[in-house]
Amino acid sequence: MESPTAIPEAVTDLRDLIVQPPRLRTNFDSVLFTRAHPIDDAALSDPILGALCGMLRRHLVQDTNAVGLAAPQLGYPLRVIAVRPNARAGVTVVVNPRVIATTADVATEWEQCLSCPGARVQVERARHIQVEAAESTREGYTATRVVTEYSGFLARVIQHEVDHLDGVTLLVRAGAEGVKAAQRTITWAAEQTEGARVFLEQMEQRA
C-alpha cells in the first residue's frame, strides 16, 4: 500500500481501481489510511466515473442520517466525495476537490463518521472555505476547474470528507482519544494490520 504522505499520480484508467463491489470500510481498513488518487482530466468523462458518483450518491441516501461519504470509504482510493448540507437535502458529488483557501475563523464541533462506528470527536475546522474542483455539467465532469465557497456545516462536512481523501480518519483527529478508541475496537485481522500500523504512525507524528 501507499504511504499517506506519498504524492499520488492521477488515475487514467478507473477500471484498475474499481474492480470490486462497494463495501463500507471501517476502523483500520488500509484504504482509509491511503492518500487517494486524483482523477486524470482524460478520465473525467469516463462512464465508470459516472457509475462511481451514482454509487456514492446511493450509499449516502441509503444512510438516512449521513451527510457525507468519500470514495475510499467504499474501498476506492479516488478523490471523489458526496456531500449534502443536511440529511433531507439533495446530494452533490465533488470530483478532485482541493481546499484552496480557509478563513482564520474556526469552530469546534462534534463529528461522527460512518467508517469509525461509535467514535464521537470534537474537531476544529474553518467556518468558511474555498474549494476548487472539476466542473460538473449535465453530461458529466470536465477538465475546467471551478471554485465554490462553502460556509458553516457544509464547509465542515467537506473538510471531513477531504480528510478521508488524505488518509486521515476521525480517529486520527481524535488524538489520544483516538488511540483509546483504537485499543477498544482494533481487530488485528490480517487485512487490517497495515491500516492499524499507518494509524499508529500518524499518531506518533502528531504526538
Residues that bind Zn ion (CB under 5 A): 113
Question: Which lies closer to Zn ion via its Cβ, residue 52 or residue 172?
Answer: 172
Closest residue (Cβ) to Zn ion?
113
Question: Which lies closer to Zn ion via its Cβ, residue 50 or residue 85?
Answer: 85
Minimum CB separation of residue 112 from Zn ion in Å reads 8
Which residue in 124, 161, 177, 194 is the catalytic one? 161
Minimum CB separation of residue 46 from Zn ion in Å reads 26
Minimum CB separation of residue 35 from Zn ion in Å reads 16
User: d(Cα 62, Cα 7) in Å, to the nearest integer?
Assistant: 33
Question: Which lies closer to Zn ion via its Cβ, residue 113 or residue 172?
Answer: 113
Minimum CB separation of residue 42 from Zn ion in Å reads 29
In the numeric block, which cell numbers belong to residue 165?
481523501
Question: Which lies closer to Zn ion via its Cβ, residue 124 or residue 139?
Answer: 124
Which H, E and C letters describe the chain, residue by residue?
Answer: CCCCCCCCCCECCHHHCCCCCCCCCCCCCHHHHCCCECECHHHCCCHHHHHHHHHHHHHHHHCCCCCEEEHHHHCCCECEEEECCCCCCCCEEEECCEEEEECCCEEEEEECCCCCCCCCEEEEEECEEEEEEEEEECCEEEEEEEEEEEEHHHHHHHHHHHHHHCCCCHHHHCCHHHHHHHHHHCCCCHHHHHHHHHHHHHHHHHC
CA end-to-end distance (rounded Å), the chain: 24
Minimum CB separation of residue 102 from Zn ion in Å reads 19
Question: Which lies closer to Zn ion via its Cβ, residue 44 or residue 75?
Answer: 75
Q: Is residue 161 annotated as part of the catalytic site, yes or no? A: yes
| Active-site residue set | 161
